[in-house]
């Protein structure tokens, strides 16, 4: 079962990087833009990581509005220019803000440092956590920066209140592969009552398809470290989610319901058909 979940997890994670036409249509607007930027960021990082001339160097990538910002240190001007050209070769990247520094004495990665596979895993975890925050109705509008190193996720930025900060931390903690979460989010002192009311109106006015909701509920289950999403069937009609299948405990059932309820566009969750084994 673990191997099956690993395969399903890889498939679900890959879907964060490459959207089908249906999903791309469903994710129009600001949410779609942020998800697209997360995918482009991951694509740039991967392209740099697999380049034998550049992978010895630690290069950070951030993509916003078609501009990829590169920061870090490389050995030569040739490396700096090459990194820019690699980033420009990624679909959707129109411009590069090249902030890479050149230092002939820069330390290259050694065999004792994180391997390509572990760095790729960190990049995947970052994209996964970002996506989960964007899917959640309570965190999708927050200004949260996510970074991962050796499986440790760091959340930085601003949360509207302490409950949103705690929820963001729980979403990151409940991600398969995350070893620890460092929550450095600042809680805004601004009254968020009006903002919350506007968020509710925005959700009500958005045409979020049943297919989008079903896809994100399933993906959230598969990406969870505390749920076996392969044994849960998800159906959505008019925003109302029905869960059937089997979970291992009442705690898993409660987590499945909570996870579904918090996703954008979900109006109700019926888990009467979700059975607790034994």
**Structural domains of the chain in order of their starting residue, each with its CATH number:** 21-108 (3.30.1340.30), 114-205 (3.30.1340.30), 210-276 (3.30.1340)
Residue 173 CB neighbours (<10 A):
16
Residues 157-185: tens digit of each pLDDT: 998 889 999 999 999 999 988 999 999 99
Mean pLDDT of the chain: 80
pLDDT at position 202 over 60:
no
Angle at 223 between CA 218 and CA 228, to 5 degrees: 70
Residues 104-134: tens digit of each pLDDT: 888 776 544 555 566 667 888 888 898 899 8
* CB 74, CB 83: distance < 8 Å: yes
**pTM of this prediction?**
0.59
| Cα separation of the two ends of the chain | 18
């Amino acid at each position: 079962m673990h191997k099956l979940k690993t395969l399903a997890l890889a498939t679900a994670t890959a879907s964060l990087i490459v959207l089908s036409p249906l999903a791309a249509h469903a994710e129009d607007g600001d949410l779609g833009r942020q998800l697209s930027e997360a995918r482009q960021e991951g694509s740039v990082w991967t392209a740099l990581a697999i380049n034998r001339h550049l992978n010895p160097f630690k290069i950070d990538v951030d993509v916003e509005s078609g501009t990829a910002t590169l920061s870090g240190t490389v050995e030569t001007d040739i490396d700096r220019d090459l990194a820019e050209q690699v980033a420009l070769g990624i679909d959707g990247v129109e411009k590069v803000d090249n902030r890479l520094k050149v230092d002939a004495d820069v330390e290259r990665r050694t065999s004792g440092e994180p391997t390509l596979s572990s760095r790729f895993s960190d990049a995947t975890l970052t994209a996964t956590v970002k996506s989960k925050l964007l899917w959640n109705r309570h965190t999708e509008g927050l200004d949260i920066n996510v970074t991962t190193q050796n499986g440790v996720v760091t959340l930085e930025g601003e949360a509207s209140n302490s409950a949103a900060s705690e929820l963001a931390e729980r979403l990151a903690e409940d991600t398969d592969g995350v070893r620890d979460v460092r929550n450095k989010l600042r809680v805004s002192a601004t009254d968020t009552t009006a903002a919350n009311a506007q968020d509710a109106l925005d959700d009500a006015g958005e045409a979020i398809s049943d297919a989008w909701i079903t896809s994100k509920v399933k993906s959230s289950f598969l990406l969870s470290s505390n749920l076996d999403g392969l044994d849960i069937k998800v159906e959505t009609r008019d925003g109302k989610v029905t869960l059937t299948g089997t979970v291992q405990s009442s705690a898993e059932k409660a987590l499945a319901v909570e996870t579904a309820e918090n996703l954008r566009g979900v109006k109700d969750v019926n888990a009467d058909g979700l059975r607790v084994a034994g």
